[in-house]
Structure 1
Amino acid sequence: MNVLITGGTGLVGTRLSAVLTEAGHHVAHLSRTLAPGSPYRTFQWDPAAGTIDPAAVPFAEAVVNLAGANVGEGKWTAARKQELLASRVDGLALLHRELTKPGHRVRTVVSASAIGLYGTTGDALVTEDTVPVGHDLLADLTQAWEQAATPLAALGLRVVVPRIGVVLSLAGGALPAMAGPVKLGFGAPLGSGQQWLSWIHINDLCRLLLAMLIDEAWQGAYNAVAPNPATNTAFTTALAEVLHRPLLLPRIPAFILQLALGEQSEMVLTGKRVSAAKVLAQGFTFEFAGLREALQALYPPALIPAPQPTQTLMAGAGSARS
């Protein structure tokens, strides 16, 4: 199968491209710039200008849309918020325009979304049928993202919308940022520590996206999360244990994070406890269903350096003060 990927050079797109290639599929990227030395054929587009290589869509039998600026990069100024929105909806509008034209073979579109759609849900276990609550930036952004994909189904295409949780990978995303302080002996839960983190190992995510592409039984929205979400405290504790590091502080108060991050602190101080039941009912089997096994696969003992003496001493001093 020929698969065209937007956002193919990002965290998920890079790994997915390799997984698809290993499975015998032909991958091409749709990108604003040409990457010299890329192993994948690359077509250019400019969603803001509404331009696209006319050969891009005719190449494909399926499209995976991962395009969207990283919400964790840059301050959330008014201009940045507009960029975050445009990077998601403009590309889908351009794809819709091209897919209305005759002469292509696309039958399936997998269009990424995120669990930010649900807003702040507290301890409630949310499913794909949960009505989004609140109107924070991430919820509004993700609702607009999904709404931009809706018209594709009216073209007779099979549209699958994975609502992706926190992706665990050493190549980028949230995990390296969370692991950094822990490795240095300064790890601590954030805020109350009771906010839920719904995660998925990147290998499982790419296997799930592959299943969505090749099996026509998949249609509509699915939570792309592992079956066992964890609180921030449980996640931080498990990460410290896997890395063989102590936790220095009971927790980092919310007001400090709010002062440091402003509006973006909502990304770490709020959580979502998201159900994977629909994905499991579809027959998907997770390789990494448990948090500890996922973290151990990413941080095998042989690759974890021993703590430095200064770290051990500082951690011990922190424990003595608690």
Structure 2
Amino acid sequence: MIKNVLLTGGTGFIGKHLTDVLLDNGFSVSILSRTDHKDSSLISYYKWDLNKNYIDEQAVLKADYIIHLAGEGIVDKRWTKKRRKAILESRIKPVDLIYTVLEKHKKTLDAFVSASGVGIYGAKTSHKICNEETPPADDFLGKTCEEWEKAADKIGSLGIRTVKIRTGIVLGRDEGFLKHLTPSFKSGFGAVFGTGKQYLPWIHIDDLCKIYLTAIESTTMHGAYNAAVTDNTTNSRLSKTLAKIYGYSIWIPKVPAFVLKIALGKMSEAILTGQRVSSEKIQQTGFQFQFTDLERTLVNCIK
């Protein structure tokens, strides 16, 4: 019998790629969406509305696994008070709705897998290597990820195996993080932000999707896992590598931190800071990264 995976955030960058991977591996997929979509033989769409606390219960009742990817973009808009609230609620409300349905119908799942972020370790730059035992930071990113994971743990309290994927910067072809960078770099105007010393833990979209697949298939996986290559990439290294691929050396001076702070406000923290993270725990499951070389990965994503 074909197992069904329900996705929140299934129409986004990661969700689209993950849907293809799940289908290729013999699963059927259900996607929660605010808009109407036409079903196919292996993909079903169900309506939900977070503002109205509405979810089509059949989506949850049909699922064998649920993967929670939904959430407002961290660097899409300035972090006003309203935006910070939207970022947090867009990650927690979906889990609350799902929890209510599961509890109401005494429904069980083979696993619940939630996205999280390496931002849980905080908006700061240090040489410390953070692992899954590192405490959450006491700042906006740290608290947001902590609350995100606490929401997932509510599902775990129902006796359901729960996995939390702490994701780094996701690199993919013309999407994700690179979507914001490639236009300026392609035009020859690439630059380093701030000191350039801030670390940028990254992962290729293909490897990330394989981690999610491993998380639902491996019954021994539970708890938090860092999903990022441990290679000490900094903003300066990534910028210079990207410029090299486009055939030039960076000639524009570094963009000063104060300029980004004026332009982006508190959101600049997500760009001007970054820590190293360990991928040892996910590798101990037997998972092997396909993309570990930064230059080769960037070439794969932009050419």
**Shift of residue 121, structure 1, vs aligned partner:** 4.4
> Residue 102 of structure 2 contacts residue 108 of structure 2 at CA under 8 Å; is this kept in 1?
no
Structure 2 match to 1:48? 51
> CA separation in 2, counterparts of 1:267 and 1:217?
33
1-structure distance, mates of 2:285, 2:230: 13
Is contact 1:28-1:40 (8 Å) kept?
A: yes
The change in CA–CA distance for 1:54 and 1:170 in structure 2 (over 3 A counts) is same
Q: For the Cα contact (< 8 Å) 2:164–2:223, is it kept in 1?
A: yes
Structure 1 residues 53-107: Cα deviation after superposition (integer angstroms, max 9, x where no partner): 1211111100000011112222222212111111111111111111113364522
Please, which of 4, 19, 36 is the counterpart of residue 17 of structure 1? Answer: 19
Q: Deviations over 1:166-209 (max 9, x none)?
A: 00012422112122221111112110000000000000000111
Query: Aligned-pair RMSD on alpha carbons?
Result: 1.6
Measure, in 2, the Cα distance between the counterparts of 1:214 and 1:101: 26
Is 1:33 the counterpart of 2:35 in the alignment? Answer: yes
| Aligned amino acid, residue 13 of structure 1 | G
Q: Is the 8 A contact 1:58 1:103 kept in 2?
A: no
- Normalising to structure 1: TM-score of the pair? 0.89
Q: Distance in 1 between matches of 2:203 and 2:137?
A: 23
Structure 1 CA distance, aligned partners of 2:49 and 2:259?
A: 40
212-221 or 27-36, which moves further after superposition? 27-36
Bigger CA radius of gyration? 1
Deviates more, 1:250-259 or 1:183-192: 250-259
Read off the aligned partner of 1:132 and give its amino acid letter.
Answer: P
1:167 partner SS: strand
Equivalent of 1:130, from 131, 134, 139? Answer: 134
> 1:36 offset after TM fit, Å?
4.8
CA distance in structure 2 between the partners assigned to 1:69 and 1:112 by the alignment: 12
1:61-100 mapped onto 2 (5 Å cutoff): 61-100=64-103
> Which ranges of structure 1 fall in alignment gaps of 5 or more residues?
301-322
2:270 match: 267
1:247 — aligned with what?
Answer: 250
Contact 1:199/1:229, CA 8 A, preserved across alignment:
no
Partner amino acid, structure 1, of 2:301 = L
Give secondary structure in 2 for the equivalent of 1:260. helix
Aligned-partner SS, 2:214: helix
Report the AA paired with residue 62 of structure 1: Y
Q: 1:247 to 1:37 in 2, by over 3 A?
A: farther
Instruction: Confirm or deny that 1:257 pairs with 2:260.
Output: yes
- SS across alignment from 1:112: strand
Mapped to 2, the partners of 1:67 and 1:299 lie a distance apart of 26
Which residue of 174, 177, 182 corresponds with 1:174? 177
**Aligned counterparts of 1:148 and 1:247: Cα–Cα separation in 2:** 43
Distance 1:280 1:189 in 2: 31
Alignment check: 8 A CA contact 1:29 1:43 kept: yes
Structure 2: gaps of 5 or more residues = none
Amino acid at match of 2:109: V
1:285 corresponds to which residue? Answer: 288
Identical positions, percent: 38
Provide the residue aligned with 2:217 in structure 1: 214
Q: Residue 128 and residue 167 in structure 1: after superposition, are their counterparts in 2 closer, same or farther (change >3 A)?
A: same
Give distance in 1, aligned partners of 2:114 and 2:191. Answer: 35
CA contact 1:60–1:105 (8 Å) conserved in 2? no
Distance 1:141 1:82 in 2: 10
* SS state at 1:86 partner: helix
Identify the range of structure 1 (61-70 vs 138-147) with the bigger mean alpha-carbon deviation. 138-147
- 8 Å CA contact 2:9–2:70 kept in 1: the answer is yes
Cα distance in 1 between the residues matched to 2:171 and 2:218: 25
